[in-house]
Every structure is written in C-alpha cells, then in structure tokens.
C-alpha cells in the first residue's frame, strides 16, 4: 500500500487541520516560527475543502485527530500528558482522546465476541453492558461471567481497525522517506526505522491474544509491588479480537479532583507512578509502555491500577544497566561518567571528544537541579538535547524508543498529580537501589555464575571441538583469517573457562 498515492493522505491531514480550526492551535502550541506558520497556512488554506469535517461538538484539535484516524489519535494521547509542551488548554482538549471517543454499537461488539469465542453470548455472560469506555483501538464493556458470576471487563477491537491503521502508517512511511530525502541531517535519527518500529508495536496491539499474554506476564512480575495492581486475565474468554479481565473499581487517573476528594495523597501518587515505572523498566526489563491517564485507575485503597496492555516495552539487561548508569550520573551530577557511559555503550562515535560531550551534558543537566518541575520548560530542554545529539553524531536507537516515549508520558502523569514534582528526587531511590544490586560486587558474582553455566554447557563438547579444529588445519602454524592458530585460540578459551569457573567457586566459598 505504500507509495506516492499517500501524498493524498498527507494533503488531507493538512486540509483537515485547517478546516477544523486546529491548525493555528497546533502551530501555536508547538511554538512554530512566524514565517513557518505563514507558509503552512498559505499551503493548507486553499485546499481546506478537501479536509474532513469531524465532530463539530469537539474542540478543534480533538475534532481533527479523531476525524483523521487511530494513528493520529495515538499521537494526541501522548501530547495530552504534556501540558508543559503543548500548553494547558490544548492538553485539556486532547484528554478526551484517552477513553471518551465515540463507541460502536453493542450489537457489533456482541457479534464480534460470539464469532471470536465460538458460543452465543448468553452462554458466556449473564450480563453484557453498553460500551463504558472507547479508545482508538477498542472499547470496553462491563459483563458478568455466566458460570461464576464474576464481574469482568470485556475489551473488543473496533471493526475495520486493521485497515484504518494501515492507511495511517502508510502515510507515516511516506513522510519519513520525504524527510530523509529533503533533510540529510535527519538520517541519523532514522525516521524510517522509527516508523517501522511503531508499525510493529501497532500490529502487536491489534492482536488481543498478545495483549492477554502481556497482561498475564506483567501481573506476575508486579504481584508483590505495594501500591500497584494489574487485573487478572481470563484465558478461556479471550481471543484475537476480544479479551476478558477482572473488573476493577477505581477513579480514572485523569479525574484529579475526584481523586483528591476521595482523600488520596496526590503528591505520593505522583512519586509512586514514576517510581513504579522505573522499577518495572530497570528491575524486570518489562514495562507498561502506554501509561497515560486513560490507562490508569486509582483504587479505593489508593493503589495505582494499570489497564490496557497492548503496548509493552522490553529491554535487555545490558541496556538496563546503561540506562541506570546514565540516570545515576545525572542524579549525582557526575557528567563525566554520563559521557563515559555513552561512549562505552557506543551511543556516541568514538572519534568525538569526551570532555566536550561531558560539558554539553552538564549544560543539559544543571538547569534541572534546584528547581521544581513547574519552572522547567521541557520543550526547550528537548530542543537543546536535539542540538547536542546532532553535534555529537548520536543516532536514534530504536530499541530505546518505547522507553524514552514512556518516560515522557509517565512524567506527564506524575505532574498531573503534583505539578511541582522533582523527577530526579523521585527517581533517585529506585535508581540507587538498582545500581547497588546490578552494578556492584553482587552483580559481578552473578555475571560470573552465568558465564560459568554457559561454559559448563559447552564443557562436554570442548574435546570434540578441539579435535575438529586440529583436523581442519593443514599445519601447526596455520589458523584463521587473521593467521592466528586455531589450536592456540582453543587453549586460551579453555584457560579462560577454567579461570572463570575457579574464580566463581572461590567467591562462592568466600
């Protein structure tokens, strides 16, 4: 489906923004330069008749994004958590996108559930409500299981959502290609790789079997996390286009006045949502990657309850350590160490000046400390970070896209509870605990134990490997491509394996 025909989709996007009155709102919120605003408006005004009308009852930006489709809605959901970037007024408008979109009919949902689970609805559920929440991908119904009487939430995909999302993503692919062609400097950010990554994430979200599995894994990881909850899944009542979870009572996280009226500590909630995210990312390497207010509830006991597990993030242990060391360096104001970690991980090309990079990192970090969050312009901070990364040739790392995006969203949620929260002070205990457990002596012992286990698996094969290598050699002094004899490599490998195993045993006895 990708190709030049998607130009029409991009033209309609601009026309829709202009026709709904969203264009000036968006340009103002993003602080676009005056000359750029003039050019964009001049291009879009003559073709606004091509744009979609949307729902006139909605505010301009929300009206435009809902008319344009699910991928645009996802973008709007992200921006709704960042009033410091888009302004309070626009952020308030975009909150409608989180769980208050127009639903599809109950009859359509019933037909989808029956087709997916292969039984009439009355055999599955004794009660099945009208839609109670509708988002960009699916909507939720409150139901009661016929056999057990348990109250549950049934999530059903929107009809035709796969095709609708495919059109949006195709247009994004074209946009990324055009950006790379017109702006060679942007290629280091890998816009096409970013869209490929986004497309993969979306495809996973459109299969509710994957989400059911993610919810079960996330619940198992967080079962002992005090003040945090995940509803249990019902496997027998879940499939590709429908899934069933326990029903949970609570106040939606975007209704801050109601949360305060219920007597919950808003400052504590702000710190907890941030610390929980960091714990999941660093401790488990598996985190909820769509933690906006529409996917969170505050339970009667004050627990933060997570919902909607269509987008989950996973990072390997090495990346977690790098990420933690960077955060820890910022917290301690050790900008030299932050720079070293970037170089050690290969995030910055080795031919760049590490002292200059450390100086640039200091200019990013210092303004954060000693002030509350309400005085920090995240838009300016992100703009300066972009300039720094461009100067030092850093490339976008697609494996960190979800982590970076979710950190922005979670910070926005924390600020909605406590506008004066200091994200670094809230993060410090979690990061320090992870560093102590994962970068110190205990971590070294665990790494060596893992190495020993790997070597032990190869142990029975070492004699045969050595014999095969010796047979392949035509002479004692011939070796691999670099001329180094293979038999010597095997000797050094065996010596290293023995030394590592002996060291581990010594440490365990000590």
Residue 332 CA, distance from chain mean position: 26
Closest by CA to 79, choosing from 58, 67, 65, is 65
Query: What separation in angstroms does the CA of 17 have from each of 4, 97, 109?
Result: 21, 16, 31
Spatial neighbors of 25 by CB under 8 A, at least 6 apart, are: 60, 61, 90
User: How many C-beta neighbours within 10 Å does residue 46 have?
Assistant: 10
Active site residues: 290
Residue 470 CA, distance from chain mean position: 50
Q: In whole angstroms, what is the distance from residue 185 CA to residue 167 CA?
A: 27
313 SS3 class: strand
| Cβ proximity of 71 and 105 under 8 Å | no
Burial class (CB in 10 A: 0-12, 13-18, 19+), 463: exposed
Closest by CA to 342, choosing from 417, 285, 413, 393, is 393
Closest by CA to 94, choosing from 116, 78, 110, 113, is 78
Q: What is the DSSP string of 346-368?
A: TSS-TTS-HHHHHHHHHHHHGGG
Spatial neighbors of 81 by CB under 8 A, at least 6 apart, are: 91, 292, 293, 408, 409, 412, 413, 416
Q: Which residues in 480-489 are b (16+ Cβ under 10 Å) and which e? A: eeeeebbbee
Computed over its alpha carbons, how large is the radius of gyration of the chain? 27
Residue 140's DSSP bridge partners are 133, 155
* Strands of the 296-298 sheet, one edge to the other: 228-229, 304-306, 296-298, 251-252
Q: In whole angstroms, what is the distance from residue 268 CA to residue 253 CA?
A: 14
């Amino acid at each position: 489906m990708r190709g030049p025909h998607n130009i029409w989709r991009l033209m309609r996007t601009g026309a829709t923004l202009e026709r709904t009155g969203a264009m000036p709102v968006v340009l103002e919120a993003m602080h676009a330069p005056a000359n750029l605003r003039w050019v964009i408006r001049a291009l879009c005004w003559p073709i606004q008749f091509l744009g979609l009308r949307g729902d006139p009852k909605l505010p301009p930006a929300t009206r435009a994004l809902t008319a344009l489709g699910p991928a645009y809605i996802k973008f709007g959901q992200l921006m709704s958590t960042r009033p410091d970037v888009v302004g309070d007024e626009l952020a308030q408008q975009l909150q409608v996108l989180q769980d208050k979109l127009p639903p599809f009919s109950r009859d359509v949902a019933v037909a989808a559930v029956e087709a997916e689970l292969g039984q009439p609805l009355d055999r599955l559920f004794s009660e099945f409500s009208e839609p109670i929440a509708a988002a960009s991908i699916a909507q939720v119904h409150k139901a009661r299981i016929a056999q057990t009487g348990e109250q549950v939430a049934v999530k059903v995909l929107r009809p035709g959502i796969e095709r609708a999302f495919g059109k949006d993503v195709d247009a994004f692919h074209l946009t990324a290609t055009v950006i790379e062609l017109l702006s060679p400097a942007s290629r280091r950010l890998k816009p096409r790789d970013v869209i490929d990554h986004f497309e993969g994430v979306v495809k996973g979200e459109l299969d509710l079997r994957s989400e059911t599995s993610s919810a079960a894994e996330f619940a198992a990881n967080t079962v002992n996390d005090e003040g945090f909850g995940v509803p249990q899944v019902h496997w027998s009542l879940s499939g590709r286009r429908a899934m069933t979870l326990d029903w949970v009572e609570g106040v939606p996280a975007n209704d801050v006045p109601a949360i305060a009226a219920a007597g919950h500590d808003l400052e504590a909630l702000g710190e907890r949502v941030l610390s929980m995210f960091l714990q999941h990312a660093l401790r488990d390497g598996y985190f909820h990657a769509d933690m906006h207010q529409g996917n969170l509830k505050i339970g009667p006991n004050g627990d933060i309850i997570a919902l909607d597990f269509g987008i989950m993030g996973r990072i390997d242990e090495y990346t977690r350590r790098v990420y933690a060391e960077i955060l820890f360096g910022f917290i301690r104001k050790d900008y030299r160490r932050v720079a070293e970690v970037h170089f050690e991980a290969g995030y910055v090309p080795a031919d760049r000046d590490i002292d200059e990079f450390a100086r640039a990192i200091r200019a990013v970090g210092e303004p954060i400390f000693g002030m509350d969050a309400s005085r920090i312009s995240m838009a300016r901070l992100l703009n300066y970070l972009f300039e720094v990364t461009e100067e030092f040739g850093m490339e976008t790392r697609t494996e960190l896209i979800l982590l970076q995006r979710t950190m922005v969203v979670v910070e926005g949620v924390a600020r909605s509870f406590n506008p004066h929260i200091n994200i670094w002070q809230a993060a410090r205990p979690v990061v320090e605990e992870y560093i102590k457990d994962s970068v110190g002596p205990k971590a070294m012992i665990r790494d060596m134990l893992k190495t020993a286990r790997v070597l032990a698996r190869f142990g029975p094969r070492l004699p045969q490997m050595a014999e095969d290598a010796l047979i392949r050699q035509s002479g004692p002094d011939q070796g691999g491509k670099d001329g180094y004899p293979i038999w010597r490599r095997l000797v050094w490998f065996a010596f290293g394996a023995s030394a590592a195993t002996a060291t581990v045993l010594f440490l365990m006895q000590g």
